Amino acid sequence: MSPLAGIRLVALDLDGTLLPATKKLTERARRVVPELRAAGIHVMLATGKGWSLTEGYACELGIDAPCIALEGALVSRPGADTPLRRLTLGPGQRADVHDALDGLSVGYFFAHDGSRIFANRRMAGRIPEMSIWDPDVVLTDACLSDPSLGHAHVLHLIGEPHEIDEAHARVAAVDLPGVDLFRIDFWDGLKQLQVRPLGVGKHRGLATVLEALDVPVTALLACGDWWNDVEMIAMAAVGVAPSNAVEGVRAAADHVLPGSCEDDAVIRFLEDALHAL
């Protein structure tokens, strides 16, 4: 039986899943996603990227279903003026985090109200990595508590593992209302602590999309590769992971593919499943 039997919504992570290292959509992806839609299957993106990049990829693929950006803090249809869901941290919450971090040399960045990325000067050497979230990165000397920086969808604290351990302990001790903490790898041995509004997470954003499309979770197929995809993969009726996926995703997936994001493994899987319907 085809893995797409009974599936009405396919959720695709971007980096490490749909996208190879070039961050460019392949010709096969450009062909297969419209074929899925023509077969009556909704296709959406579920990513930690900022909205401008997420919407751009969605438009390239002809996707009109709601998509998830910024780890689920933002859910919107491409081209829509008003999102279906937007969760942010206010300046007061950022100020509380700032006070808790006093004396620590962690960097930070976040997408503010309009999705532009603000980052402090400690992140100057990390702009190529941050551009994965959004190409429009603004370095600032402003204090994290500066109200002029607006609201933050997700606040990313970046540092050495021991610094992030300490940051995690301090922010958790403050017990901020309406705030969730999620620790995850960054690059080159650095760690990040995501300080985010309660309710953020790809799986929670997916609940909004399922409701909007009137699709039951039993008709969801989800594909991902990273730790922020684990809950999304676990909730889906069919979970798919490329060979480059982290252990947690591989354990949660129903299908662990022999190929990676570099050889279009997920799209090839969907193409074969579509032909098997």
Indicate which CATH number applies to the domain containing 105: 3.30.1240.10
Question: Average of pLDDT values for 138-158?
Answer: 88
| 212 burial via Cβ count (<10 Å: 0-12, 13-18, 19+) | middle
Q: Above pLDDT 70, what percent of the chain?
A: 99
The confidence band for 146, taking pLDDT boundaries of 50, 70 and 90, is confident
Kindly state whether residue 64 falls inside one of the protein's structural domains. yes
Kindly state whether residue 3 falls inside one of the protein's structural domains. no
Kindly state whether residue 114 falls inside one of the protein's structural domains. yes
Angle at 122 between CA 117 and CA 123, to 5 degrees: 40
pLDDT of residue 149: 84
pLDDT of residue 113: 62
Q: Is the pLDDT higher at 141 or at 206?
A: 206
Overall number of domains in the chain: 2
Q: Phi and psi at residue 106, in whole multiples of 5°?
A: -85, 145
pLDDT digits (tens, 9 = 90+) for 87-118: 999 889 999 999 999 999 899 999 876 567 89
The confidence band for 143, taking pLDDT boundaries of 50, 70 and 90, is confident
Kindly state whether residue 78 falls inside one of the protein's structural domains. yes
**Domain end: 177, 197, 217, which one?**
197
Residues 98, 192, single domain; the answer is yes
Question: Average of pLDDT values for 153-180?
Answer: 94
Q: What is the 3-class SS of the chain, one letter each residue?
A: CCCCCCCCEEEECCECCCECCCCCCCHHHHHHHHHHHHCCCEEEEECCCCHHHHHHHHHHHCCCCCEEEHHHCEEECCCCCCCCEECCECHHHHHHHHHHCCCCCCEEEEEECCCCEEEEHHHHHHHHHHCCCCCCEEEECCCCCCHHHCCEEEEEEEECHHHHHHHHHHHHHHCCCCEEEEEEECCCCCEEEEEEECCCCHHHHHHHHHHHHCCCHHHEEEECCCHHHHHHHHHCCEEEECCCCCHHHHHHCCEECCCCHHHCHHHHHHHHHHHCC
Domain range for residue 251? 9-85+200-275
Closest listed residue to residue 68, CA positions, set 93, 87, 41 = 87
Residues 216, 137, single domain; the answer is no
- Does 272 have pLDDT greater than 90? yes
**Domain end: 197, 231, 261, which one?**
197
pLDDT of residue 114: 58
The confidence band for 16, taking pLDDT boundaries of 50, 70 and 90, is very high
Distance separating alpha carbons of residues 49 and 227, to the nearest angstrom: 15
pLDDT digits (tens, 9 = 90+) for 37-87: 999 999 999 999 999 999 999 999 999 999 999 999 999 999 999 999 999
Q: Which residues contact 99 (CB under 8 A, 6 or more apart)?
A: 145
pLDDT of residue 115: 65
Indicate which CATH number applies to the domain containing 249: 3.40.50.1000
Q: Is the pLDDT higher at 175 or at 4?
A: 4
